[in-house]
């Protein structure tokens, strides 16, 4: 998993198995993300993504 929000993250996110981003990410980043949080960066996005992973693994 890789979380990014802007153009410099694009190439790494294309290589990541699970690219994710915050709600306020650049449109190009949202377009390649498997999950877009409903939270903006620095406003709970990291926690949201972690909670989603835990739920997907049956821990939530």
Q: Report phi then psi at 42, rounded to 5.
A: 70, 10
For the four alpha carbons of 4, 30, 1 and 11, in that order, the dihedral sign comes to: negative
What pLDDT does residue 17 have? 95
What pLDDT does residue 37 have? 98
What's the pTM value of the predicted model, to 2 decimals?
0.91
pLDDT-derived band at 8 (thresholds 50, 70, 90) equals very high
What pLDDT does residue 39 have? 98
Percent of the chain predicted with pLDDT > 90? 98
Q: Quick check: 60 pLDDT over 80?
A: no
Q: What is the pLDDT of residues 22-56, one digit of tens each?
A: 999 999 999 999 999 999 999 999 999 999 999 99
């Amino acid at each position: 998993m890789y979380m990014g929000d802007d153009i410099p993250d694009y190439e790494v996110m294309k290589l990541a198995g699970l690219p994710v981003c915050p709600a306020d990410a650049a449109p190009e980043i949202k377009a390649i993300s498997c999950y877009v949080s409903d939270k903006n960066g620095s406003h709970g996005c990291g926690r949201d993504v972690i909670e989603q992973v835990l739920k997907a693994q049956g821990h939530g």
